Amino acid sequence: MFAESTLKDAVLEALDDLPNERMAEVLDFALFLKTRQKDRLVVSPVLCLPSVPASQLKPLVGLVAWGGDAVEDSERLYES
């Protein structure tokens, strides 16, 4: 599209033709874009979940069922 220097020159040339009231609007918008760019640079934390092999999960299948006793099931789980 535009080379960086050509684009900057085009923006500056357009700004020269604007009255001061409009320049204030342009400044407002430029500061908004600058703030938005900073927000994008903030790196969100990466969630690290531990994993276990499927062989360790197999004993849990069928442990809790609808209508079961959760207390009894959890005691049985931790006693064995």
pLDDT at 39 over 80: no
> How many independent structural domains does the chain possess?
1
pLDDT at 69 over 60: yes
User: Is 80 a domain residue?
Assistant: no
Question: Quick check: 15 and 26 in contact, CB under 8 A?
Answer: yes
Domain that holds residue 36: 4-41
User: Quick one: tokens of 4?
Assistant: 């960086």
User: Is 28 a domain residue?
Assistant: yes
User: Is 29 a domain residue?
Assistant: yes
pLDDT for residue 47: 77
Question: Quick check: 63 and 73 in contact, CB under 8 A?
Answer: yes
- 61 SS3 class: coil
User: Is 78 a domain residue?
Assistant: no
User: Is 33 a domain residue?
Assistant: yes
User: Is 13 a domain residue?
Assistant: yes
User: Is 12 a domain residue?
Assistant: yes
> Would the pTM count as exceeding 0.75?
no
User: Is 22 a domain residue?
Assistant: yes
